[in-house]
């Protein structure tokens, strides 16, 4: 258990972690919920061997899959780099889980990665170490890339991700903090202490944008080209449900940052809000989103209209 929080956690540390002092230059932080992080562990461990001041800390949010938790513990024990697994007895949520990882980390810099990510090459951590050494910013987002899936049911998510999220650093720097994500994010530990994630964001969506916009007021945030490979593509049905449920968090985002009302999603939601009976079109948009015969660009547009429709009810 841990006295730092009212929700108990347990810790599993491998021999390498137990042998290291409780300090590090970099803590790689990986929250997960049902996703298997062992592929990331196996991809990161060879990169970590080049440094003696890097640790890896994982967080199982509520242990929804006890078998997976045991598998992760077994994998950790086979590694010769310092790895710890924190397991919460109850689900905290995405924002609170990342805050917990920041508190439990030993590093002066923190690198958040998703469990379904993998390093693109052997220089992945080295590029981040160079950013740390340069000491010219307080947080950086390296971006991410996805391979085109072989399963047709995932084509829509891949297309949407490539058109909306997968951009080079120059493009993302023009957009600014709203192009930040909470995965593949390098940030000073002191920044996370001063500006943690807002744990009132529950469920899916927008806590990363909220954090970046908030942090950018007092700290220097930049984008660099150091993308991680990202899995986690989901079917159209799952995206429809996530976008519906994310409307509540979107409302909180706009309430905390009224200046974001100019963003395309907010403008679309306001336009739909002024359209009488627009909610009756949701069935059509859902059908178009899931239709395998429509072009991907039409399906993506229907999904965006679905999201804006639900957002229109809360803004």
* Residue-level pLDDT at 152: 95
Which mean pLDDT values do the consecutive 10-residue runs of the chain (315 residues) have? Answer: 64 93 92 94 95 96 93 96 95 92 97 95 96 96 94 95 92 95 96 96 90 97 96 94 93 94 91 92 96 96 95 89
* Residue-level pLDDT at 17: 94
Q: How many Å separate Cα 237 from the centre of its chain?
A: 20
Task: Kindly state the tokens that stand for 248.
Answer: 């509540």
Domains of the chain are: 9-234 (3.90.550.10), 235-315 (no CATH)
Residue 63: name the closest of 76, 55, 53, 73 by CA. 73
pTM: 0.93
Number of neighbouring beta carbons within 10 Å of residue 211: 27
* Residue-level pLDDT at 231: 86
Contacts (Cβ under 8 Å, ≥6 apart) of 151: none
Residue located via tokens 């230059």: 25
């Amino acid at each position: 258990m841990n006295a730092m929080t009212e929700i108990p956690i347990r810790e599993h540390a491998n021999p390498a972690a137990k042998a290291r002092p409780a300090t590090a230059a970099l803590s790689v932080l990986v929250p997960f919920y049902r996703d298997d992080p062992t592929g990331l562990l196996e991809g990161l461990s060879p990169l970590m061997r080049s440094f003696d001041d890097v640790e890896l800390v994982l967080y199982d949010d509520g242990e929804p899959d006890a078998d997976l938790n045991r598998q992760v513990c077994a994998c950790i024990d086979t590694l010769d780099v310092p790895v710890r697994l924190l397991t919460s007895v109850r689900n905290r949520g995405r924002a609170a889980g990342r805050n917990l990882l920041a508190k439990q980390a030993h590093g002066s810099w923190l690198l958040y990665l998703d469990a379904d990510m993998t390093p693109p090459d052997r220089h992945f951590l080295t590029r981040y170490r160079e950013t740390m050494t340069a000491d010219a910013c307080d947080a950086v987002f390296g971006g991410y890339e996805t391979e085109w899936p072989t399963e047709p049911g995932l084509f829509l998510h891949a297309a949407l991700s490539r058109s909306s999220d997968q951009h080079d650093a120059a493009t993302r720097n023009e957009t600014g903090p709203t192009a930040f994500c909470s995965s593949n994010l390098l940030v000073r530990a002191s920044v996370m202490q001063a500006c943690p994630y807002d744990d009132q964001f529950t469920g899916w969506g927008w806590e990363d944008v909220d954090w970046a916009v908030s942090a950018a007021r007092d700290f220097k945030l930049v984008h660099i080209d150091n993308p991680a490979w990202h899995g986690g593509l989901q079917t159209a049905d799952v995206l429809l449900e996530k976008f519906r449920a994310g409307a509540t968090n979107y409302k909180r985002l706009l309430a905390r940052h009224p200046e974001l009302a100019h963003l395309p999603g907010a403008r679309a939601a306001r336009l739909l809000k002024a359209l009488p009976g627009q909610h009756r079109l949701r069935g059509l948009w859902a059908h178009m989103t899931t239709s395998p015969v429509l072009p991907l660009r039409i399906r993506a547009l229907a999904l965006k209209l679905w999201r804006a429709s639900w957002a229109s009810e809360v803004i």
